[in-house]
Structure 1
């Protein structure tokens, strides 16, 4: 939008500076571009690996197609969105965008039949989402590891600072601040190990997942092995036994782990602002900030409170996707 304040989501306004790295991945621009790259790379893959079955392609044509692929920009997105207004189909709009470009060049137009060859939309989408989630997960993991590393430093630094523990909200036995923080770092370490083992999956087997169109076109090719090789180029593994859609179990598993990390982080946030309330910690006053509109002496633990709310919202969305995506 022309002005940030016209956006609906605070992620596109108030919190924009905090998510700029993942915004580039998960924006609509990022999704459309990834679909576009998959379509182009599939065509090149077929022609380069099996020129005797598909139209032979020379180096000059390859360079021309790669230049077109690598020049994708905001204008490309606008053109694809314009096509989508007619097709009412997002993946088909990408295909038509490529076809329109190829039709302007006699040398490229003879490859039109290989655009989206043998595929269904879910082949493009499942691989595109796997790529986006893989890239986003890498950034997420780096941030979680950084958070845990900072907590470990503080745990070690404060290991001998005494703290009166509470159970059921009542004064209990003594502990230390460092030990209490170590509880959180240990929990997060377990979840980091689990989420690091997640394998992104995609299907590339056409309508209903049986490789029909591909096998009918060229029966001499082992399409299961070939599509596996293609998907592997994106550092994604093949789910070769599916229906028309990839069942998304791996995404649900990933979101369940993220939900547990969210809950650990909510627990940490609540403990920290309780420590502040009990004057175990003291918030630093930023002279440029206002803690209260009517009580200027107040400094509120707003970062921990905001974190708690955002983690809760994330959990609600995760729960929806976990239950929705795994049911076809």
Structure 2
């Protein structure tokens, strides 16, 4: 460190640094070594919070959205393709039991050491191969280590990288949603159903346009979210079931395959192969598999996220109104300056991550459905961000679940708020009076209540002035905000 830098540092510590020394401090910070004892792979050094602060909540996705997962899926596609070729009578390749097992073991037992080897083949060179600087070619060379020499020329035979990649990504997207995201969403739906059943009869003031409105029950409001999320789950399932796979060569014409084996029905072969992977066969295509199917998946997930973002915001508002009470964890700090606070941080975190997830999912859908002419490679880097979008989803689902687990409806506050807003029975009053033939019913109630604070006694005075029979007057006098909930409880119990 030269004398000038030392001087700048001392001046800043003494509180005497002027604007002229700010650049020097910036250079110091940029050159700062890692904190003692920490290495670059420490979570606190992660560029993304998904792999740093929140890694413990997103690691369930690693088997489906990590770089190693993509490698493994590519190995699976390449291995199964060679095995499918060997089953064709026209192809002079026979693979016996142990050889078939070895090829499948290449992906079934794929581990961190294998992923590291694939990466070294790509970036440094290994196993006698120079660095490929091509991730799919590195997988091809890796798979040769698990196949007899006579099979080497048939690995990746006639394929373009997109034939492998489009299948691999869809296998991973299917797995990530089916094994990780969907169970989390079902858990949230089940939580909402439990709320609906447990609080089916608990009356609550509704608010439309933010103003007191016809009462409901807390359970019925949760039933609405449970139903919405259930429909969103169905859309996700349908979209995942609609994932497609392409296997048709460099321009989608099977040109190389047909040149080598003109008598083979390659279109039928491809359809059978793609189906064997659990995907629907896509034809016709260019070099790429058009990503309309992936966009449908992203849209469906974004739809579920929209429901949950709405829920997170409403839950936050219920907390702010004291309709929901929160459990306070021992030792937890709600505010760095206000000791009394228990902040709805899980709902806030969920809201932020759902918004981020949907921004990413929208970008993915917009980007991946376009490709210049036969293909450009902008999709390669974009698809690597599918995992980040899904991770924000997962983080949000788990945070929202934590928030729901920590809240309980505050019955006393709910009933107090209802009693403080008796004007909400005005709708019932004017509707009953309409039934009895009073064509000015709406106007009479409006004159009493619009923009005014009224009491049940004010309504009693109105009822006394009306030309109605005794039964109707008794019916009106029996109205209270707490009892004016229609069939809300039945709706909640049917959730």
TM range (shorter): over 0.9
Verify the 8 A CA contact 2:76 2:104 in the aligned structure 1: no
Partner SS state of residue 12, structure 1: coil
Does the C-alpha gap of structure 1 residues 270 and 70 become closer, same or farther in structure 2, counting only changes over 3 Å? closer
Mapped partners of 1:68, 1:171: distance in 2:
64
Structure 1 position 253 matched with structure 2 position 296: yes
Matches within 5 A, 1:92-241: 92-99=137-144, 101=145, 108-138=148-178, 139-198=180-239, 199-241=242-284
Task: Pick the aligned partner of 1:57 from 82, 90, 95.
Answer: 95
Tell me, yes or no, if the aligned pair for 2:250 and 2:287 is still in contact at 8 Å: yes
Root mean square deviation of aligned Cα:
1.6
Name the SS for the 2:71 alignment partner: helix
How far, CA to CA, are the matches of 1:210 and 1:151 in structure 2?
Answer: 50
| Number of residue pairs matched by the alignment | 322
Structure 1, unpaired ranges of 5+: none
- Larger radius of gyration, structure 1 or 2? 2
Equivalent position of 1:78 in the other structure: 116
| In 2: Cα distance, 1:170 partner to 1:293 partner | 33
- Contact between 1:46 and 1:54, CA under 8 Å: does it hold in 2? no
1:15 aligns with 2:54: yes
24, 39, 53: which is aligned to 2:78? Answer: 39
The alpha-carbon deviation at position 52 of structure 1 amounts to 4.7
The normalised TM-score by structure 2 is 0.63
| Higher RCO (CA-CA < 8 Å; seq separation 6+) | 2
Q: Cα offset for 1:69?
A: 4.2
Query: C-alpha separation between the residues in 2 aligned to 1:246 and 1:68?
Result: 26
**1:195 and 1:291, CA in 2 relative to 1: closer, same or farther beyond 3 A?**
same
Structure 2, unaligned runs of 5 or more = 1-39, 124-130, 372-495
Asked whether the 8 Å contact 2:75–2:106 carries over to 1, the reply is: no
SS in 1 for 2:99: helix
SS in structure 1 at match of 2:216:
strand
> Cα 1:66–1:174, aligned 2, differ >3 Å: closer, same or farther?
closer
Q: Aligned partners of 1:70 and 1:90: how far apart in 2?
A: 19
